[in-house]
Amino acid sequence: MNIQHSESSVTEKPPSVTQVETHGVERIPDADRTARPFDLFRLAFGGANTFSTCVLGAFPILFGLSFLQGLAAMLLGLVVGALLLAPMAVFGPRNGTNNAVSSSAHLGVHGRVVGSFLSLLTAVAFFSLSVWSSGDALIGGAHRMFGLPESDAAYAVAYAVFAVLVLAVCVYGFRFMLLVNKIAVVAATLLFVLGLFAFAGDFDASYAGIFTAGADAATQELFWPSFIGAALIVLSNPVSFGAFLGDWARYIPASTPHRKVMGAAFLSQIATVLPFGFGLTTAAIIAERAPEYLDPAAPNFVGGLLAVSPSWYFLPVCLIALIGGMSTGTTALYGTGLDFSSVFPRLSRVRATVLVGVLSIVFIFVGRFGFNLVQAISTFATMIITCTVPWMIVMMLGWVTRRGWYDPDALQVFTRRQRGGRYWFAHGWNWRGMAAWWTGAVTGVLFTNIPGQFVGPLGDLAGGADISLPLGAAVAGVLHLVLLRVFPEPREVFGPAGPRWVGAADTPVAPITEADGTPALVPAG
């Protein structure tokens, strides 16, 4: 097995996809940064152009909206989510590392573990949801086509195959994952387009939902909470990539214009109108032809899809499940293994990836067959997003106030187990960013309102509407700017042009040293 060495200074051509990537979260050498914004587009779109995204697209219909109302909610959530996500793409090319490490500049070199654990929880949750939904679709389709029994053993085999394949791709690393997603993007897109022909004869855009002119007053009062809730569920999908964009964008050269990198991230999510639209359209058909599958108490979108699909489309459904499981799983699991290798330095990227993958697989099986935690994990994933958005806001405002200037060497202090540097702040913690993130996250959790699953202590104050994400983001943003103005950061964390919107304090910055206090072996800069 070939090994790609991280110390190489000259690269004649991109490494082979069969070489195991050994780069951790250290800054990627310029010679190895050969990816393009289009590669970022393919990875981010491939990770979302999946069956689990179709399931999210069905939620507007599950909430009782008409097709046109659901379409409006879907487009609103998708555009706002893509706009929130796009700025998170610029940190990777600028710093050559992932977003958790980049967050050291705003949360402190120890505070960066917030991003690490948010990405870990997000990866486990969305990896599990992807494997469960894809495995269910695969077994359901095989049952319809070949009479395969829908037994626990069959589901276990499907989950195991998905999980092991995903883990193998993640172990090989970035370039092999990029190859898989190149194939997945094209294949899944063609299969979704084929679905247009499969359901064209059954689709009716006039599906009315429950909020009709003749609905009673109590039902009508639920319209806006349902509309906002559906939009937020769609929005959560692009936002879930916020912690991971740097994992892939770090291979893009630093000289790449920001507008191209942000544009790739934005368009990758706008393109998911395809799987979202597939889910919305088929859910409307299911609601008319097989409404028992959309019972709010126990919805079964996969079963309903198979019930209304023509028999010739069963195989494409299985292929979408297989391809989608690979795409979502690799994009979620790869970054977490990468980042955990820096949190626990004794673990290489490969070992950390295997460890996180094995734990995720155990979690999948225990949750699915031991405790039936699928619905609970859906709630868990939503709560993670509620906590991730304030973290993203702190990062974005930090970029603006710093004018996009960073010290890549000082960002790596935690990874090298050193002390000091521009981002040491108070013993490795920047309490300004931490306080803004924590307050925004707690506010979001308090105002969360997921009907039938979780309602926070203040979740009913907005008439039943879930305002957790916008409120948490607003609180984090306003508080962060206030704290930066009232308690300015050291002047040395800003570039030659100085701060924007906020002041700077003439606070001395400790030099980078080893853990025992001796001068750093790696020179600054």
**What is the radius of gyration, based on Cα positions, of the chain?**
23
Backbone phi and psi for residue 450, each to the nearest 5 degrees, phi listed first: -110, 100
Mean pLDDT by 10 residues, the chain (525 residues): 39 53 74 92 88 88 94 96 96 94 95 88 78 82 87 88 79 71 83 91 90 83 87 90 88 95 97 96 94 81 89 88 75 70 70 80 78 63 87 97 95 89 95 98 92 82 86 97 97 95 93 84 50
Q: How many angstroms separate the CA atoms of 257 and 136, rounded?
A: 42
pLDDT given for residue 152 in this prediction:
87
Residues counted in the chain: 525
DSSP 278-291: HHHHHHHHHHHH-G
User: Do residues 98 and 25 touch, judged by C-beta distance below 8 A?
Assistant: yes
The superfamily in CATH containing domain 36-514 is Hydantoin permease (1.10.4160.10)
138-144: long-range contacts (C-beta < 8 A, 24 or more apart)?
A: 138/318, 138/321, 138/322, 138/325, 140/302, 140/303, 140/306, 140/317, 141/306, 141/314, 141/315, 141/317, 141/318, 141/321, 142/318, 144/306, 144/311, 144/314
Start-end of H helices in 290-346: 301-308, 314-343
Q: How many angstroms separate the CA atoms of 508 and 498, rounded?
A: 16
DSSP state, 454? E
User: Do residues 91 and 99 touch, judged by C-beta distance below 8 A?
Assistant: yes
- Report which of 525, 508, 506 is spatially closest to residue 424, judged by C-alpha positions: 508
pLDDT given for residue 1 in this prediction:
38
pLDDT given for residue 5 in this prediction:
39
User: Do residues 40 and 89 touch, judged by C-beta distance below 8 A?
Assistant: yes
Q: How many angstroms separate the CA atoms of 12 and 352, rounded?
A: 29
Identify the three-state secondary structure at position 504.
strand
DSSP state, 368? I
